[in-house]
Structure 1
Amino acid sequence: VMGTTGGDRELLLENTADAKCFAVIAPNMAKQIVAMQAALEDLARKFPGAFEGYTLGVTESHQKTKADTSGTAKAVVDSLKTLSSNDKFTSDDDIIKLRTDEDSQNFGVKPDALTGHAFHTYTLTSGDGSVEFQLKHNVSGRRVYAEGTVDAAIFLAKKVKEGLTEDGRTVYNMIDVLEEGGM
């Protein structure tokens, strides 16, 4: 079970599949966040441009040791860009990344969560500013990721016990874990 946003994802998936190694590989192990992302992807597919003319603003806060832009934020932004038809927004340039303790606390992070947190706020605002939608998810600590990792390990143990399927698939993601249910 591997939860990471770094490295060459396609190569990792390819090498793992070629080795016929059973694995769950996902950029985010928190089932609730993965479910939210999947729902947003579905909305974007069903209702592209529903927020056309709206501007997108994103602020995310993580512990100061996290250097890169959140993979979760990038994925959510992709869906929101489709909903808003806003191709000008770029994840790396336009997402406000908070990494200092002071900035994080001003964003609502409690002092005891400064070494492990993920606070994200996504805002869609109408062109005239009269309508605003916000989507927010705040994680303090790492428990939700640990719980998802345990569920992924249970899922994977079942898959190993079942053995290779007709399609020979051995590599899964957290959507597969969610679709299995009962976790």
Structure 2
Amino acid sequence: MLPWVVRRTRLPLLSTRCPDCRAGSFTTGQGRFRVNANGKLLDVWLLVRCLACDHTSKLTVHERAAVGSFDPALLDGYLANDPALVASWLLDPFMARRHRFALDWKGAWRLEVPQAGFDETWPVRIQVRFQDPVPVRRDRLIAQGLGLSRNEVRSRVKCDASLRRSTIAGFTFVLMPRG
């Protein structure tokens, strides 16, 4: 079985309207949090920047949370702008729903395919794993990995799930020989 891996190369862009210029793409840039203390309560925001006008917006992560309710390591991560913590909040579906944004993954991922050819006996079984929840259509992913047209993928690939549907989870497929 050949392993393929879909990896994130950068954080995806946020698709939402800018309140200043009405453009539709935001970035987390370097990935920064803003932590504000008000007595014994903390507010934590993830800062995002409009790609068109540089307007900075805040996405609420925690609002009026008691300081004692935070794990010290988590609080240190917010204060140090931990990139893994930025990614975890940005990729959280609840965060996207709450702040009404979608993730634009264009150019933010790559498919790693081993260089080994198909010298094995046919049919060839290939397992695809996802490092992050990158939504991609199965037929497009397979076509990119094999260098085939999507029509040829549909005729030569056997998969338990629909090839035309997007997925964020791993799957396995079987590549049949030509002819």
Common fold by TM > 0.5: no
TM bin, normalised by shorter chain, reads: under 0.3
Structure of larger gyration radius: 2
Bigger RCO (CA 8 Å, 6+ sep):
1
TM-score by length of 1: 0.24
